[in-house]
Amino acid sequence: MIEFDNVSIRYSPDAPYVVDKVNLTVAEGEFILVVGGTGSGKSTLLGAINGLVPHFTGGVLTGDVRIDGRSTSTNRPRDLADLVGVVPQDPMASFVTDTVEEELAYTMECLGIAPAVMRRRVEETLDLLGLQELRQRPLRTLSGGQRQRAAIGAVLTAHPRVLVLDEPTSALDPGAAEEVLAALHRLVHDLGVTVVLAEHRLERVLQYADRIIALSSPGGPITIGSPADVMSTAPIAPPVVHLGRVAGWSPTPITVRDARRQASTLRQLLVGHVPPVRVVEQSTVAATTDHLEIHYGTTRALRSVSTTLHRGEVIALMGRNGAGKSTMLHSLVGMTKPTGGSIDIAGVQPSDVDGPELIRRVGLVPQEPADLLEAPTVAEECAASDKDAGCDPGRTRALLALLAPEIVDTTHPRDLSEGQRLLLVLSLVLAARPGVICLDEPTRGLDYSTKERLAGVISDLSSAGHTVIVATHDVELAADVASRVIILADGEIVADGSTADVITSSPMFAPQVAKILAPQPWLTVDQVRQALAQDSA
């Protein structure tokens, strides 16, 4: 279905190759997973499938890409629209019309499909993706998972033979991600659609893949093979694979089910061991909320939230898309004024103060860190931050050097990778030494190595006495760094307790290691590795 014949791509004639001499054949009805670090050329590879690279992006492509025998050198993306459906990373940016139903029809309208056929296909697609209830809804009012399904539906109505998706679950909560992946699984099995999908969160998608394309670095060698083969050696792997390596299992487990079958001996080995738990002494109060209420018009975003945050705690704020996590963080930095109740951070209500008074108490790295950046170079950005925080010149730069030593002064902040930009904004926020630091969905779009680095930074901050609150969908991150987990649902706290207690008791929020070793309360591969090391020592 998809053939890459000795394909090399670079964005200008003298630039290095992003994709170098790739040969690849994908059969009809295969589910292909593309993995690789940030900037390893995943998006370029995906873009080449329907000709967006190079027709739309510019650049030079040598070799030949053929989809069902049609070469992208002579077919523009619009000419392949009946054959290849592309779901971009941010579905909201790709919507052309007002409502779900019209969006589903848009591709067909462009292809000139007869009205009677359109009507039938829209109904079929609404059913297939469970969108019936949403057909008249304006796209702007949909939740993240609904948007993603609408975006998939919008390309499916044209009956493409190939579906290309770029990180379809990165912005979704675990439940919504399951929904989207289940829909894709059904397409592959029922309709024989070929799916090519890029994703950082391997723990979510690995079990669905028939084959994996692993990219190492731009222009570097690529590995293609079955998930078990590729995962046995790949540096980028989900916790289930790492656990398999630690325990020495063969073949490498890909799914929780595989791993559980082999886990009985490991569980026996671990009997008598207690997972090392990060205990934070809840002595110094850093912030409290008292019956906090936030309303937007008739919507009650937060309902009577009362909680106390202590120094040194790392709190993972979890819950569905739209549960009120971001609202909670926004109210902590005073961007949203409480409708009722109160917040107290070091003696003040955050919405009553601003300027240095505010940022010395509490800081927030927003979901789009780039929103805070305005200077043309990293150095100027740091200098501006020193001024804002009223601290000694050079402090922000020094912090950045600690967090991300490889960043160069003269770089434009927009040219940094997603992870580097996050760390830059984090150092801007840290310059004022806030006691409470909020991170809104920080691991979105980050690869495993950057995530590990972020986890290290968060642990260091907590040891230094900061209180860190992370709103996240990423259960593995929560298991890794959090000492306490708060789960919000419809603006109310439904669970609040130590990480091990809260997340192991919920099938939705349990990390892979906990699922494999249940009923024992292990959360991360590191805990298991340490326990085994004690044994052998």
Partner 1 sequence: MTAPTVTSGTSHATVPNLARDDRARWLHPLAWWAWALGVAVAASMTTNPLLLLGLITCTAVVVDRRRSDAPWARSFGFFLRLALIVVAFRLVAQILFVAPMGTTVLLELPGITLPSWLAGIRLGGTLMLEPALHALYEGLRLAAIIVAVGAASSLASPHRLLKSIPAAVYEVGVSVVVATTFLPQLASDVARIRANRRLRGRTDSGLRGVGGTVMPVLHGAMDRSIALAAAMDSRGYGRSATVSRARSRLTATVFIVGLAAIAIGTYGVLGTGSVATWGAGILITGVVCVVVGVSLAGRRSLRTRYRPNTWHRPDVLTALAGGVVAATFVIASVQDPAGMNPSTSPPLWPTLPVLALIGLGAVLAPAYLTPPPPSVGPATDLDPATVDLAGRDES
Peptide bond into 519 cis (omega under 30): yes
Helices and strands of the chain, counted as H and E runs = 22, 19
**d(C-alpha 240, C-alpha 229), whole Å:** 14
- Minimum separation from the CB atom of position 489 to partner 1 (A): 13
* Residue 415 vs 501, nearer CB to partner 1: 415
Residue placing its CB nearer to partner 1 in the complex, 55 or 201: 55
415 burial (CB, 10 Å; 0-12 / 13-18 / 19+) is: exposed
Closest approach, Cβ 90 to partner 1, in A, equals: 7
Q: What count of other Cβ atoms lies within 10 Å of the Cβ of residue 274?
A: 11
Least separation in angstroms between residue 136's CB and partner 1 is 4
Closer to partner 1 at the Cβ: 471 or 517? 471
CB of 234 or CB of 485, closer to partner 1:
485
Query: Smallest gap, in angstroms, from Cβ of residue 368 to partner 1?
Result: 8
Question: In angstroms, what is the minimal distance from the CB of 166 to partner 1?
Answer: 11
Please state the closest distance from residue 384 (CB atom) to partner 1, in A: 8
What are the φ/ψ torsions at residue 165 (nearest 5 degrees)?
Answer: -130, 130
Q: How far is the CB of 258 from partner 1 (least distance, A)?
A: 34
Copy the structure tokens of residue 407: 């960043």
H or E stretch including 162?
strand 162-166
Give least dist CB 225 to partner 1, A: 29
Contacts of 502 (CB under 8 A, 6+ apart): 485, 487, 495, 496, 509
Shortest separation between residue 441's beta carbon and partner 1, angstroms? 9
Please say which residue, 97 or 459, places its beta carbon nearer to partner 1. Answer: 97
Residue 216 or 417 with smaller CB distance to partner 1: 417
Q: Considering beta carbons, is residue 325 or 395 the nearer one to partner 1?
A: 325
* b (16+ CB within 10 A) / e for 350-385: bbebeeeebbbbbbbbbeebeebbeeeebbebbbeb
Nearer to partner 1, 142 or 222 (CB): 142
User: Would you call 517 helix, strand, or coil by DSSP?
Assistant: helix
- Residues 6 or more apart in contact with residue 66 via CB below 8 angstroms: 2, 3, 5, 72
Specify whether the CB–CB gap between 509 and 174 falls below 8 A: yes
Nearest CB to partner 1, comparing residues 161 and 330: 330
Which of 536, 533, 535, 500 shows the shortest CA–CA distance to 519? Answer: 500
Q: State whether residue 328 is helix, strand or coil.
A: helix
| DSSP summary character for residue 17 | P
Q: Closer CB to partner 1, residue 254 or residue 362?
A: 362
Rounded to a whole number of angstroms, the minimum distance from the CB of residue 204 to partner 1 is 18
- Dump strand ranges (E) for 47-131: 60-67, 70-71, 84-87
